[in-house]
Structure 1
Amino acid sequence: MKNRRWAGKRSGIAFGAVALILTALVVPYACAGTTGAVPFSGDNPSSGTRTVTIADITDFHGHIERGADNATAFTVADSHNPGNMIPVSTGDLVGGSPYESAVEKDQPTLDMAKAWGLTISAIGNHEFDRGVADFNNRIADPSNGIDWLCANASAANKSPDGLLSHVRDSTIRTVNGKRIGFVGALTDALGSVATPQITRDADLDERAVDAINRVARELKRSGKVDAVVALLHADASAAADIGRDVDVVYTGHSHAIKRGTTAGGAPIYEAGSFGRNMAVQDLIITGAGRRATVRVADVDLGNGTSHTAVDGVLGVDGLNAHPAQAAWMSAGAEENDEVSRAQHIYQASATYANHTGSAVIGTLASGVNFDKQGSDKHGNTVGVLVADANRESIMKHVYAGNRLPVIGFSNNGSLRTPRLDMNGDGKVTVREVDSLMALQFKAAHETLTGRDVKRVLAEQFRRDDGRLERRWLGISSNVTYRYAECGTAGESGNADAGVDTDSGADTNADADECAADEHAAVRIANLAVDGRPIADDDLVIIASNSYLLQGGDSYPAFRAGTNYGELDMPYSQPLHEYLAAHQGLTAVVAVPVGTQA
């Protein structure tokens, strides 16, 4: 069995002592209010019934500060069914990570996963943050010990010469005498959360659910496995059409805690994010191959784990420090025990991160900070700051003239922390900037017409059940514009009033212009850059990150750009340069995009 960590790896006197303590600590898991859970009663060889336990995390995103909590949870799950537990991940194990992992290209997270004994994962979109080739050659390198699964990537791409040569449709583990097949797939919406280049390189040529059903059918009906587990990096609702050949489904991507049921009757679990939750289930398997029957029972591990609102998904945040674990940790756990190794990995990574990230690159005026919290009336101050930095960087490195106006943009999805100066000491460090901008985008630029800039601005507004919903971009502070809501059906095309972003003056949307785009929620008017009016045919240089300018975060109007180019620098570098050049920054007030009259 490849998953050696959970098959008798621990032995000797030290393990015996730990096992005795764990026996005393582990409580029956048929707690009041736990729907569908039954006490673990062991196996029944005479009837051919054996139990295999699955413990799933998803969207860990390099949060190695919780690595010991997860190591503890996996260990307690193993003690529930000794030697017969399989840990799995449903994707986004790495990417968008805290500085401690990101500064070392997430190698600490891969080391952490190895310490846990994690050998199976679906691919998530953030596994591709540094490109598909980087994923295949570095993250999916066999030396890291993980079988990465993506059944809906093309077969050609998974061939020995393909960009995903280290990826497979499925993998099989034989545990407790039963063969468990695992099949993985990646969200069909990859194009909306990754750059066009990544989407092309990944080459998803089949709907995720169709791929899972196809592979599960092959595994089950060939008699190669006794049970099938699906790992789908997509929201739980995306698994609804999975068929009867799958016995349990684990999902992810939306960072939610959810439960559902497939068309084939299998339970679906989504276990949150960032290492705070874990889904643990018993597969109670009778018979073998095509004649096998599988019953799924939720496991309540006790021992400091907490209940969530969803049966089968446990809270494990803070588990390693829980009093229930103290006796176990003092009972002579082996030096290379999974929990100790996880602690050591984090401590070493934190020490390195503190050393590399403590340099101060900028200062803020007293009482000033830049945060991500916006409102219906305003964008967020950190988004405007990043947009101003993007603008200044492109004017410094690419376009030093003044004939064409330059606008900077940023998107909320590229900003990963709630504020710039996280500890509020007025000093901005390398760590704080790189944690805010932890994704692997590049600084980029392109040219849009004034008409296309207006389309970008209009994409900040959408209708939802008749209401105007706003999702502000960060826009450089040299930009002003007015917007007016387009008329809704039944209003004879009449538009509501809008508000000038700098003067507060009312304006009415032109019915003809709104009608030109049936999906438009607003009309943009009086666009000006540096006080200069921008006509529809004027050219404007746009400065932002590579993801947004390729239409990311559902802003497709950026794709109309020409002269697209990327700088040889991460998208955090413009902010590094801006902070260094503007010491003692005062708050940038977000452009006051006004309310409807």
Structure 2
Amino acid sequence: MNRRRMWSGRRPGVAIAAIISTVLTVLIVPNAVAGAAGTVPFSGNDAATGTRTVTIADITDFHGHIERGADNAAAFTLADSHNPDNMVPVSTGDLVGGSPYDSAVAKDQPTLDMAKAWGLTISAVGNHEFDRSVADFNNRIAAPANGIDWLCANVSARNKAQGGKLSNVKDYAIRDVNGKRIGFVGALTDALGSVATPQITKDADLDERAVDAVNRVAHELKQSGKVDAVVALIHADATAAQGLGKDVDVAYTGHTHAVKFGHTDGGAPIYEAGSFGRAMAVQDLVITGSGRRAKVTVENVDLGNGTEQASPTVPGVIRVEGLDAHTTQSAWMSAGSTGESMVDRSQRMYAVAHAHAAQVGGAIVGTLAAGANFDKRIENGQEDSVGMLVADANRAMIQRTLYAGERLPVVGFSNDGSLRTGKLDLDGNGKVSVREVDSLMALQFKAAHETLTGRDLKSVLAEQFRFKEGQLRRRWIGISSNVSYRYVERDSDGDGNHPAETAFDGDHDDRAVDIEDLTIDGKPVDDDDLVIVASNSYLLQGGDDYHAFRSGTNYGELNMSYSEPLKQYLAAHPQLAPKKMPTIGVKA
């Protein structure tokens, strides 16, 4: 017997539910589209040819944004109503990690519970799934109780084997839907080393390019006749999927938080559906035949009911944000509902998580001077004030706990990517709460330190600068207020090209500038001087392409989150105001 799933409060055996489903299908059918060619009718099933239609609804880089959980539930409900009981919801990675406080404070369990309410049972592994370590992902997030098949074909076979560090990860998963067998193959970005710590990269043990792994598994599935269609889920930029071959029928990508559309070398469409639960890619796989002889056509689906494309140039990706509250949704979403629809459950889950977060995150850890705030705006070519504040807090923590009385200077750093909100005092009330600090610093890094030479420190500072399209560009990094320096643009090479126009690979000096007149606490720093550096564990291990940090010695981590130094700094400095920016300029 085909066991029907319950979506949007549909009750099997109740006449009104069948009527509602029929009416919704009629309303939505005219809105299906094929590529960018225009409107075509929903093809559905054709008994004469054996054609069946399976609908895929993909989200990516949700990052625990459970405040949009009901919006996503509404979109999944619409997608299922378009093709009742023949829709498969999937994720292309980073379902959790780097999350807002409401989910992060509970280690993203609210997100995992919400995904279960959506019926989401398939996801590619993203880099942020590893935020709390590879072991935490494998043993907790990927635990069978959460109901998700986590896919990553480019993890080494030994690591996926029993006893491996990623034993709960699979190459692929197969779903029987509408009489067809759909194979889902996942992979993680080849650039894991640039977005994760060396330990995570080592523990994940990716031993194959993402596109090669997906092609290998897709070919095996198709040639063996195990599946009638293959869906690729690659947590990497859409361009990374272009090398997929003819065994892949549709590819979903992620990681860059963009809305994109393209094609693989094998002719399949590629979709990237934004981030944070704001967009969803919805496609029909129209399948005729089976196994190696199956013919698969991909058609974009417009869910109707007031939905629109997330980008005017990207067909097949719809805007989800605000969908639950859309006025045209209210009548049909509540019709026949028992109060147990996935939308209802998502709303209740968020309310519970939000209330818990408000209770534990409301404690005040610091106060700001009247009218003061710390934010990431760049003014007059100077550092953002919140970045410098975090750097100062890192410096103070290391000075107090490890290097009190030492004569070596201490410098603090903070990378822009580790600061997840635009400003510190989110509600502008002059009081900084635990929630506001943990929202700003939502990743799972540790407070860390190491020793650099003056020469290495200059290399770190120089790595802020790159030439792009002939112009000197700066990547902003937070630097403690006791540092000043000037930079000098380096000469171009004999071909007239600047050194930084080639990609930095860590094996050669690719700086666009030289650092001069470096001082710490007003004292000049020579190349052979030793300097203590305080920051977070990710940055000091070369994160965000700051490779010069890897030259450090005496690396160590404190037994505390990277947000703890800021909490203690705020507590020790009431009525805090931004400091004057250090001198950082071009040397004449």
What is the TM-score with the length of structure 2 in the denominator?
A: 0.94
Secondary structure of 1:329's match? helix
Q: Distance in 2 between matches of 1:453 and 1:165?
A: 40
1:287 is matched with which residue? 289
1:181 is matched with which residue? 183
Secondary structure of 1:113's match? helix
Q: What letter is aligned with 2:573? A: H
Q: Distance in 1 between matches of 2:550 and 2:26?
A: 61
Unaligned runs of 5+ in 1: 496-515
1:557 is matched with which residue? 548
2:577 aligned with 1:581, yes or no?
A: no
Q: What letter is aligned with 1:391? A: R
1:436 is matched with which residue? 440
- Contact 2:64/2:95 (CA < 8 Å) preserved in 1? yes
Q: 1:316 aligns with which of 320, 333, 337?
A: 320
Deviations 1:483-534 (A, max 9, x none): 1000113599999xxxxxxxxxxxxxxxxxxxx9652210011111111111
2:504 is matched with which residue? none
1:356 is matched with which residue? 360
* Change in CA separation of 1:2 and 1:113 when aligned onto 2, cut-off 3 Å: farther
Q: Distance in 1 between matches of 2:554 and 2:100?
A: 33
Deviations 1:73-127 (A, max 9, x none): 0000000000100000000000000000000000000001001000000000000
Q: What letter is aligned with 1:487? A: D
Secondary structure of 2:252's match? strand
1:391 is matched with which residue? 395
- Contact 1:178/1:288 (CA < 8 Å) preserved in 2? yes
1:532 is matched with which residue? 523
1:446 is matched with which residue? 450
Q: Distance in 2 between matches of 1:344 and 1:539?
A: 55
- Contact 1:442/1:546 (CA < 8 Å) preserved in 2? yes
1:44 is matched with which residue? 46
Q: Distance in 2 between matches of 1:66 and 1:96?
A: 15
Instruction: Quote the offset at 1:304 in angstroms.
Output: 2.7
Instruction: Quote the offset at 1:18 in angstroms.
Output: 4.7
Q: Distance in 2 between matches of 1:250 and 1:343?
A: 27
1:250 is matched with which residue? 252
1:367 is matched with which residue? 371
Q: Distance in 1 between matches of 2:241 and 2:496?
A: 42
Secondary structure of 1:274's match? coil
Pairing 1:122-521 to 2, within 5 Å after superposition: 122-307=124-309, 308-309=311-312, 310-374=314-378, 377-489=381-493, 518-521=509-512
Secondary structure of 1:422's match? coil
* Change in CA separation of 1:372 and 1:143 when aligned onto 2, cut-off 3 Å: same
Between 17-26 and 203-212, report the one with greater CA deviation: 17-26
Aligned residues: 577
Q: What letter is aligned with 2:17? A: F
Q: Distance in 2 between matches of 1:180 and 1:33?
A: 21
Instruction: Quote the offset at 1:35 in angstroms.
Output: 3.2
Instruction: Quote the offset at 1:54 in angstroms.
Output: 0.3
Between 214-223 and 472-481, report the one with greater CA deviation: 472-481
- Contact 1:404/1:539 (CA < 8 Å) preserved in 2? yes
Q: Distance in 1 between matches of 2:498 and 2:416?
A: 32
- Contact 1:3/1:86 (CA < 8 Å) preserved in 2? no
- Contact 2:486/2:586 (CA < 8 Å) preserved in 1? no
Q: What letter is aligned with 1:384? A: M
- Taking only the aligned residue pairs, the percentage that are identical comes to 68
Q: Distance in 1 between matches of 2:453 and 2:298?
A: 57
- Contact 1:486/1:493 (CA < 8 Å) preserved in 2? no
Q: Distance in 2 between matches of 1:3 and 1:401?
A: 70
* Change in CA separation of 1:16 and 1:494 when aligned onto 2, cut-off 3 Å: closer
Q: Distance in 1 between matches of 2:34 and 2:246?
A: 30
* Change in CA separation of 1:246 and 1:596 when aligned onto 2, cut-off 3 Å: farther
Q: Distance in 1 between matches of 2:86 and 2:579?
A: 56
Q: Distance in 2 between matches of 1:52 and 1:419?
A: 44
Instruction: Quote the offset at 1:402 in angstroms.
Output: 3.7
Instruction: Quote the offset at 1:411 in angstroms.
Output: 0.2
Deviations 1:435-464 (A, max 9, x none): 000000000000111110000000000111
Q: Distance in 1 between matches of 2:508 and 2:127?
A: 32
Instruction: Quote the offset at 1:374 in angstroms.
Output: 2.0
- Contact 2:9/2:340 (CA < 8 Å) preserved in 1? no
Deviations 1:311-351 (A, max 9, x none): 01100110000011110233231222111000010000000
Q: What letter is aligned with 1:542? A: V
Deviations 1:536-565 (A, max 9, x none): 111110000000000000001001111111
* Change in CA separation of 1:21 and 1:3 when aligned onto 2, cut-off 3 Å: closer
Secondary structure of 2:53's match? strand
- Contact 1:185/1:233 (CA < 8 Å) preserved in 2? yes
Between 76-85 and 486-495, report the one with greater CA deviation: 486-495
Q: Distance in 2 between matches of 1:480 and 1:402?
A: 21
Deviations 1:386-436 (A, max 9, x none): 000000011111111241000000000000000001111111111000000
Q: Distance in 2 between matches of 1:296 and 1:34?
A: 12
- Contact 1:6/1:86 (CA < 8 Å) preserved in 2? no
Q: Distance in 2 between matches of 1:592 and 1:284?
A: 62
2:536 aligned with 1:545, yes or no?
A: yes
2:85 aligned with 1:83, yes or no?
A: yes
Q: What letter is aligned with 1:50? A: R
Unaligned runs of 5+ in 2: 500-506
Q: Distance in 2 between matches of 1:559 and 1:494?
A: 24
* Change in CA separation of 1:581 and 1:8 when aligned onto 2, cut-off 3 Å: closer
1:11 is matched with which residue? 12
Deviations 1:162-194 (A, max 9, x none): 011110000000100000000000000000000
Secondary structure of 1:230's match? strand
- Contact 1:270/1:279 (CA < 8 Å) preserved in 2? yes
* Change in CA separation of 1:35 and 1:151 when aligned onto 2, cut-off 3 Å: same
- Contact 2:29/2:41 (CA < 8 Å) preserved in 1? no
Instruction: Quote the offset at 1:595 in angstroms.
Output: 4.8
Q: Distance in 2 between matches of 1:9 and 1:323?
A: 21
Q: Distance in 2 between matches of 1:173 and 1:32?
A: 24
Instruction: Quote the offset at 1:22 in angstroms.
Output: 3.4
C-alpha RMSD over aligned residues: 2.2
